[in-house]
Structure 1
C-alpha cells in the first residue's frame, strides 16, 4: 500500500475544502439553523412530542443524515469529476498508484469532510434543542458507514457524469427526495398503513431509523434491518467501483 500516494490525494482534497470554507462549512450551518427555525417553530408548535421526544430533538438525526447523504455524494462526485473534466485524472492513472489507493484518497477525503460537517451540525443543533445520545458507539458507526457508502456513491456518479448537469442529477432528483420522504422529519408510524408500506420501500428510511435509534432508542424499523441495509449499500458501491476500474468505464479513452 502506497500510503504517501493516498495521503497526497487526501490532503489535496481536504485543502480544497479549506479554500472553500464558506461554502463547505458555514453554509450548511446556516441551513441547519433555518431548518430549526422553520420546522421547530412552525411544526414544533403543533407537534409537541414524537414517541416521547420533543419534535425539535426528534428531527436532529434526520437533519444530520440529510446533510451527510447530500454532502458525501456532492463532495466525492465533484472531487473525482473535476480532474476528469480537466484531464488531470490521466496523470493520476498513469502514476504508480493502484486503483485502491486512488479510491481511498478521494473517498476518504469526502467522507472526512462529511463527518466534520455532521459534527458541526450536531453542535449547532445542541444550541436549539436539548439532545441526548443513548448509544454513542452505534451513532459513530452509522455516521462512518453512511459517510463512506455515500462517498463511494458520489465517486461513482462523478465517474459516470459527463457534464455538470449530470453531476447534480442524482443528488437533486433522487437522493434529496428520498431523504425527505425517508422519515427525516416525521415518524412513519404517523402515516396511514398503506403509505407506511410504501415508505418501507425507501432505503433511506432504514438509515435514518437506525441513526435515530442511536440517539433516543426509538426507531421505525429494527436495528438489524438498518445495519443490513447500509452494509448492502456499501457492498454494492464497492462492487460497482471495482467494475469501473476493471473496465475503465468513462475514465480511459
Structure 2
C-alpha cells in the first residue's frame, strides 16, 4: 500500500495534494486552526514565528496564499505528520476527498461516527470514499475481516441512497444484491451501456455475482456475525478491492 511518504515523494501526486490543501486552507483556516495544527504537530514555533503567515491571514493580504504554500512545502520536507494532520482536519477532509480521491488511504475516519457524518449535504459517494479510507485503516489496525464488514455496510447504504434519489422502489429490507439489480434495471445511467451494451451487461452480471458473494462473505466470514471461519487476509483484501472496483464504476456512471 502506498504510504504518505511515497505519495509526497512522487512529484505529480505531491503537487496535486499541495495544490488542493492550499486552496482549501486559504478559504477555510482561521488563526485558531493554524495554532491547533502547530501544537498537534510540534510545529507551533514555526507557525507562530513565520514572517507573514498569521499576519497576512489577519489583514487579508494578497500574499497569504503564497505563505500557505510555503508552510505546506516546509511540512512536506521536515514534518510530514503535519501534512497527515491537515489531511484529516475536519475543515479540510471532505473537500480533499472530493478533489483528490486517491488520498483516502491517508484519511482516518472514526468508524463509529460515519453514520452521523452522512448528512444530507454530503454526497452518497463521499460516504463510501470515507468507508474505503476506514477499510485501509482497519486493515492495518483491526484486521481485514473488520474492513469487509465496514465496506459492505457502506456500499449497501450507497446503493439504497441511489435508489431513493432516483425514485426507484425497493423493499425496506432489500439486500445489496437486490438494490444493485434494481439500479441496473431502472437507473438511466445503468440501463444502457452504449455501443458495447451486450459485453458490458456481461460485466455487470459478473458484478452482480461478486456482490452476491460479498453478501455471503460479510455474513459468514467477517465479524458482522459470530463465526469460526473468518476470512484470511488475502481473501479479505480481494473482497475490499472488489468493493472498490464496483464503487468506482458505479460512481463514475451515475455521478454521485
Give the TM-score normalised by structure 2. Answer: 0.30
Say which structure, 1 or 2, has more relative contact order (CA 8 Å, 6+ apart). Answer: 1
Give the TM-score normalised by structure 1. Answer: 0.30
